[in-house]
Amino acid sequence: MNEHDIQNLIRLEFSRNIPKGSLFRCNVGKGWTGSSVKRNPDGSITISNPRPFETGLPNGFSDLFGILPGGRAIFIEVKTEKGKPSKEQVNFLGHMSDIGGLAGIARSFEDVLKIINEVK
């Protein structure tokens, strides 16, 4: 099972088990922009004066984030069974925890429950 599949399972179980909370998937991306975009007859596009751009959240931001009933923020870095977090991800989770959020690595919904129930 890949991270995307695990994220979807966690989101589904979260909505079933914590209906008064909200959990969101964080999306980031890279693309191209320019002064104009022309759509070609074959479906391709031509970008005049192209330049790359990145959109989304800072490096290390968790895969999932949300609000629990009562207002506490939660940040979840999703990993496969053998997946390891990057230094940026570890730093982000530590910072969120330090400022009062719940934060951790989850490989399943059960791990999310452990993060939620962890006593600080």
Q: What is the per-residue pLDDT across 24-57, written as a single tens digit (0 to 9) for each?
A: 998 888 899 999 999 999 999 999 999 998 888 8
Do 71 and 22 fall within a single domain?
yes
Do 74 and 42 fall within a single domain?
no
Residue 114 has pLDDT above 80, yes or no: yes
Per-residue CA distances from 92 to 4, 52, 60, 77 (Å): 20, 26, 6, 10
Do 82 and 53 fall within a single domain?
no
Do 15 and 40 fall within a single domain?
no
How many residues are present in the chain?
120
CA distance 110 to 34: 45
Do 36 and 76 fall within a single domain?
no
As a whole-number percent, the residues of the chain with pLDDT over 90 amount to 88
State the residue range of the domain holding 50: 29-57
Mean residue pLDDT across the chain? 94
The domain tally of the chain equals 2
3-class SS at 9? Answer: helix
Mean pLDDT to the nearest integer, 74-86: 97
